[in-house]
Amino acid sequence: MEPAPRFSFGVIADVQHADAEDGHDFWGCRRRYYRHSLRLLRAAVEAWAAERPPPAFVLQLGDCIDGVNARSGAAEAEAALGRVLEALGRLRVPVHHVWGNHELYNFCRARLAQSGLRSRPPPSAGPPAAPPGDCQAYHFCPAPRFRFVLLDGYELSPLGRDADSPRHRAALRLLREKNRNADLNSPAGLEEPQFVEFNGGFSQAQLDWFNDVLKFSDDNQEKVVVMGHLHDGGYCLDSHGVHHLTLEGVIETPPESNAFGTIYVYDDKMIQNSKNYVSVRNKT
């Protein structure tokens, strides 16, 4: 008889809610269901609340509201964020948030750091709780020998920063060195197509901090799950034995379906019951 899981957690990504008619992605190819995404989020919350035992926590993996809110002004962006946080607030377990580009289309980093999307828990025993500065990366330990790391994938980005700030100027300078297109969101002709404005990057300080967390976990025989941000569904196992799982975005999920899941964690595996990025470093 297989043992019970050590714990479980919920996952959901790219809700991208807005009180707007359906639209399409940046390339005009995929339909986006801005209003209905909130209904799907509420359905996910109801499903997690009904689970017994309930998930230990939920991971919201970024882009919980869409950039179209910003076109209608700050009040609409605040209202959209309020509706998403109200839905997630019905859960009786912690919710951990990753910031994506769409949050930064609507708000500056300082505002997000004062919002319900700042989910960093109080410092605990172990490696440094977070990198220096305004970086929003952090880690937490939901059970012995397990550590979760949330990275700040837009620490290096012009998005969400004041145009006169050194961080904004440095990010824009790097972007323009790598991307000569008039439209900085276009990867056309680039040898390194990741250098577009809707992407972001990590500072060396964040990478050094991440390395310290991984070293601590290695020394203490912990398994590490790393959270970031992407879109399409997919899976691969890389040459280092690291598992990579990409979750499907709610925003492009038709109303008759949904895109969320619960992951059950065992000592030697994780099992997903149903759908940006989960990296598992299994030290067995």
Question: With helix as H, strand as E and coil as C, how does 184-246 read?
Answer: CCCCCCCCCCCCCCCCCECCHHHHHHHHHHHHHHHHCCCEEEEECCCCCCEEEECCCCCEEEE
Residue-wise pLDDT tens digits, 1-25: 778 999 999 999 999 999 999 998 8
Residue-wise pLDDT tens digits, 232-242: 677 888 898 88
Q: Are residues 223 and 144 in the same domain?
A: yes
pLDDT of residue 236: 85
Dihedral (C-alpha) 153, 25, 231, 17: value to the nearest 10 degrees?
Answer: 80
Q: Give the total number of structural domains in the chain.
A: 2
Q: Are residues 192 and 82 in the same domain?
A: no
The predicted model gives 198-225 an average pLDDT of 95
Q: Is the pLDDT of residue 75 over 80?
A: yes
- The residue among 255 and 284 whose pLDDT is bigger is 255
Q: Is the pLDDT of residue 84 over 60?
A: yes
Phi then psi dihedrals of residue 161, to 5 deg: -120, 150
What SS3 class is residue 181?
Answer: coil
Q: Are residues 181 and 219 in the same domain?
A: no
The CATH number of the domain where 44 resides is what? 3.60.21.10
From 177, 198, 219, give the residue that closes a domain.
198
pLDDT of residue 65: 98
- The residue among 227 and 85 whose pLDDT is bigger is 85
Give percent of the chain with pLDDT exceeding 70. 94
The pTM for the full model equals 0.91
Q: Are residues 164 and 263 in the same domain?
A: no
Out of 76-80, 120-124, 178-182, 267-271, least confident range = 120-124
155-182 residues labelled b (16+ CB within 10 A) or e (exposed) = bbbbbbbeeeeebbeebbeebeeebeee
The residue with tokens 């005009």 is 28
Out of 41-55, 148-162, 257-271, least confident range = 257-271
Q: Are residues 67 and 194 in the same domain?
A: no
Q: In angstroms, what CA-CA distances link 282 with 85, 207, 229, 236, 243?
A: 32, 20, 20, 14, 8
pLDDT of residue 51: 95
Q: Are residues 11 and 119 in the same domain?
A: yes
pLDDT of residue 25: 81
- The sheet carrying 278-281 orders its strands as 138-143, 146-150, 223-227, 278-281, 243-246, 234-237
2 occurs within a structural domain: no
pLDDT of residue 282: 33
Distance, in Å, from the CA atom of 264 to the CA atom of 131, rounded to the nearest integer, reads 29
Q: Are residues 109 and 243 in the same domain?
A: yes
- The answer to whether 274 and 253 have CB atoms below 8 angstroms apart is no
Mean of the per-residue pLDDT values of the chain: 91
Distance, in Å, from the CA atom of 177 to the CA atom of 260, rounded to the nearest integer, reads 38
- The answer to whether 34 and 20 have CB atoms below 8 angstroms apart is yes
68 occurs within a structural domain: yes
Residue-wise pLDDT tens digits, 108-152: 999 999 999 999 988 877 888 899 889 999 999 999 999 999 999
Find, among 47, 48, 44, 86, the residue nearest to 65 by Cα. 86
Residue-wise pLDDT tens digits, 146-194: 999 999 999 999 999 999 999 999 999 999 999 999 999 999 999 999 9
Band the pLDDT of 229: cuts 50, 70, 90. Answer: low
Q: Are residues 171 and 73 in the same domain?
A: no
Its domain, for residue 167, covers: 159-198
- The answer to whether 63 and 101 have CB atoms below 8 angstroms apart is yes
What SS3 class is residue 94?
Answer: coil
